[in-house]
Amino acid sequence: MINFPRQNWTDYRGKVKVNSVKLIGSVCLSFIIFANILSNSCNKGKTIMCTDQTTGGTGFTDERFKQLIKNSFDMIVLLDSDGNQHYVSDSCERILGYKPEELINIYVIEQMVHPEDQAQVRAGLTDILEGSTHGGAQYRHRHKNGSWVYLEAFGTNQINNPLIKSVVLNVRDVTESIKDKELILKSKQKLKMHRDHLEELVLERTFELAQSRDKAEAANRAKSVFLTTMSHELRTPLNGVMGMTDLALSRATDTQQIDWLSKSQSSANHLLNVLNDILNLAKIEADLLTLEESDFDLAQTINDSLKVQSAAAEVKGLRLSCEIDAALPGLLYGDASRLKQILLNYIGNAVKFSERGHVIVRAHALEQDQHNVLLKLEVCDEGIGISPEQISRLFRPFVQVDDALTRKYGGSGLGLVTSKRIAMLMGGDAGVESTMGVGSIFWVTVRLRKQQATANRAQPRVTGEATAGIRTAHSGG
C-alpha cells in the first residue's frame, strides 16, 4: 500500500517538488478556465456542461476553454462539500476507463478509492475544506477493468467562490512512476539481502579460515615438538657413537684403521650438526627456543668462533681475522651462545665456499645509547659469490642455492634459516650481499644491553692477538 500520510495535504507548501509545482500550475489553469466559463455563462448556476456562449471582450469562446480542459493531460474533477463529483473531464476515460457521465454524482471515496486509502483521502479532503489552499496525495483508484490505478491529486478549495462553488482537483496517473519506485525499492531490498548474506558468507569464510589456520599452526607445533623429541632421541646414541669413535681413534696405531675412524668421526660430526640445526628450527617453530642471557666479552666470542673454523681454513690456505669498531663496547649482556651459533654458521659457510683469500668478521654498532646497543656483525669472504636469483632462495628451510653446489659442498640449508630466526628473536634481522665471482657478506643485527658495570665508562681495548692464524684488530671510530 502506498504511504499516504496526512501531512501530504497539510504541509504541502514546504514539501512539494518540481513536478508538484507543475501540477499546481495545472490547477490554476483549471481554475482560470472555470472562472472564465462560469462568469460568461448564460445561466448562472448551471454547470459548465451547458455553457456554449462566447465570452465578452476576450475573443475566446467557451468551446475553446472546454477543448483545453478536454485535451488536458490531467483529469479535472469538481467536488461538492460532501465529496460528490459533479464534473469530471474527458481525460478520465483515458486514465480510468470510465466515461465522464459514469463518474458524475457518486461518492468516489467509498465507491472507487481503495479501502486501505479511503481514510487518508477523506482526511485530506477534510483538510482542504477546513481551509487548506492546496492539497497533494497519492492513492489507488479502481479502473473500469477492475485493476487499481495510482493517482496523484492536487486540489484547491473554491467552495466559497460564487462562480465555482466546488473543490477543484487536478488528478494525474502516476502508476508507472509508483511501479518504478516499487521496483527500485524491491531492488534495494534484494541488494541489501544479498549484501547481508555476503557479509554472513564472509564472516563464515573468515571463521573457517581462522579455524584452518589454527589447526595448521597446531599441527606445525605438534610436528616441531615431535622433531624436537626425535632429535634428542637421535642425538643421545649419536653422542655415544662419537665418544667410542674418539676413544678408538686415540688408541689406534694402524694407518688404515686411523683413516676409517677419522672418516667415521667426520660423518658423525656432520650428522650431529644436522641434528642440531633441526632441533633449533623445531624449537623456534614450536616457540620453545628461549634466550639465556648473561655477561659476555664480544671480542672473545668472535675469536672463539673463528678458532673453531681455523683448522678447516688452514687446510685451504685461508686467512681468518676480525675487526671491531673502537666505538663499540666490548662487554655486553645477552645470549652469547646463540650469537656464537650464528657466527659459526656464517664463518663455516665462508670457509666452505672459499678457495682463496681472506675471511673477515667485522663488528660495529648501528645505534647505541647509555644502556643498549644495536650490534651488526658481518662475515666477509672472497668465495664463489651468489647471484641475485639465488639470494632470493636463501634463508628458507631445506633450500640450497644450487643442487650442484649441494652435491659438492653438502649442507641441509637449515643453518641460515635458524640464524635468521635467532636474530629476529634477539630483536634484529639477517641478510646477505653478494657478487658472483667476487665474494659475499653475510650480516646479522641483534639488540644487546651494555653491562651495568661498564655502561658509564670507557672499555679497555684488546690489543692485536694472533692465535692459530687469527688476527684481532680494533678500527678507529
Q: What letters, b where the CB count within 10 A reaches 16 and e where it falls short, cover 320-332?
A: bbbbbeeebbbbb
CA 119 to the chain's CA centroid: 52
Contact by Cβ (8 Å): 337, 290: no
Q: What are phi and psi of 86, to 5 degrees?
A: -120, 5
Q: How confident is the model at residue 412 (pLDDT cuts 50, 70, 90)?
A: low
Answer whether residue 97 shows pLDDT above 90.
yes
Q: Which residue spans within 40-177 are E strands per DSSP?
A: 75-79, 85-88, 134-142, 148-158, 166-173
What cell was used for 417?
A: 634459516
Mean pLDDT throughout 335-356? 91
| Integer CA distances (angstroms), 389 to 47, 393, 415, in order | 99, 7, 19
Percent of the chain with pLDDT over 90: 22
Answer whether residue 421 shows pLDDT above 70.
yes
Contact by Cβ (8 Å): 5, 15: no
Mean pLDDT throughout 11-20? 40
Mean pLDDT throughout 117-142? 80
How far apart are alpha carbons 335 and 270 in whole angstroms?
A: 25
Q: At what angle do helices 18-39 and 62-70 cross, to 10 degrees?
A: 150
pLDDT for position 458: 42
pLDDT for position 105: 85
**HSE-up of 60 (CA within 13 Å, CB side)?**
12
- The residue assigned the cell 678447516 is 312
Mean pLDDT throughout 101-122? 88
pTM: 0.49
**CA proximity to 93, closest of 146, 137, 29, 144:** 144
**CA proximity to 166, closest of 175, 174, 157, 177:** 157
Q: Euclidean distance between the first and final Cα of the chain, in Å?
A: 87
Residues 6+ apart with CB under 8 A from 334: 291, 293, 294, 296, 426, 446, 448, 449
Contact by Cβ (8 Å): 435, 385: yes
Contact by Cβ (8 Å): 223, 288: no
Answer whether residue 452 shows pLDDT above 80.
no
Answer whether residue 85 shows pLDDT above 90.
no
Where would I find the H helices in 172-328?
Answer: 175-251, 255-285, 298-316
**CA proximity to 87, closest of 142, 165, 174, 162:** 165
Mean pLDDT throughout 258-282? 80
| Integer CA distances (angstroms), 82 to 7, 109, 144, 166, in order | 22, 10, 24, 10
Q: How confident is the model at residue 463 (pLDDT cuts 50, 70, 90)?
A: very low
Answer whether residue 353 shows pLDDT above 60.
yes
pLDDT for position 294: 92
**HSE-up of 93 (CA within 13 Å, CB side)?**
8
Answer whether residue 160 shows pLDDT above 70.
yes
Mean pLDDT throughout 231-260? 84
Q: Which residue type occupies 289?
A: L
Contact by Cβ (8 Å): 60, 76: no
pLDDT for position 106: 84
**What is the DSSP code (8-state) at residue 48?**
G
Q: What is the mean pLDDT of the chain?
A: 77
User: Minimum mean pLDDT among 12-21, 125-134, 203-212: which range?
Assistant: 12-21
Answer whether residue 416 shows pLDDT above 50.
yes
More confident residue, 127 or 447: 447
| Integer CA distances (angstroms), 13 to 169, 216, 445, in order | 17, 67, 76
pLDDT for position 60: 39
Q: How confident is the model at residue 334 (pLDDT cuts 50, 70, 90)?
A: very high
**What is the DSSP code (8-state) at residue 43?**
S
Mean pLDDT throughout 300-319? 90
pLDDT digits (tens, 9 = 90+) for 172-218: 888 888 887 777 788 777 777 877 788 788 888 888 888 888 888 88
Contact by Cβ (8 Å): 375, 445: yes
Mean pLDDT throughout 226-239? 75
Q: At what angle do helices 414-425 and 255-285 cross, to 10 degrees?
A: 40
pLDDT for position 403: 52
Contact by Cβ (8 Å): 422, 284: yes
How far apart are alpha carbons 43 and 51 in whole angstroms?
A: 8
Q: How confident is the model at residue 397 (pLDDT cuts 50, 70, 90)?
A: low
Answer whether residue 444 shows pLDDT above 80.
yes
How far apart are alpha carbons 226 and 345 in whole angstroms?
A: 25
pLDDT for position 37: 44
Answer whether residue 18 shows pLDDT above 60.
no
Q: How confident is the model at residue 361 (pLDDT cuts 50, 70, 90)?
A: very high
Contact by Cβ (8 Å): 312, 355: no
pLDDT for position 300: 94
pLDDT for position 400: 59
Answer whether residue 89 shows pLDDT above 80.
yes
Mean pLDDT throughout 124-136? 73
Q: How confident is the model at residue 417 (pLDDT cuts 50, 70, 90)?
A: confident
How far apart are alpha carbons 239 and 271 in whole angstroms?
A: 10
Sign of the torsion formed by the C-alpha atoms of 258, 261, 265 and 266 = positive
Instruction: State which H helix or E strand residue 332 sits in.
Output: strand 331-334
The neighbouring-strand residues paired with 333 are: 295, 449
Q: For strand 294-297 and strand 429-435, is the pairing parallel, antiparallel, or unpaired?
A: unpaired
How far apart are alpha carbons 179 and 50 in whole angstroms?
A: 39
pLDDT for position 401: 56
- The residue assigned the cell 679497555 is 460
Q: How confident is the model at residue 411 (pLDDT cuts 50, 70, 90)?
A: low
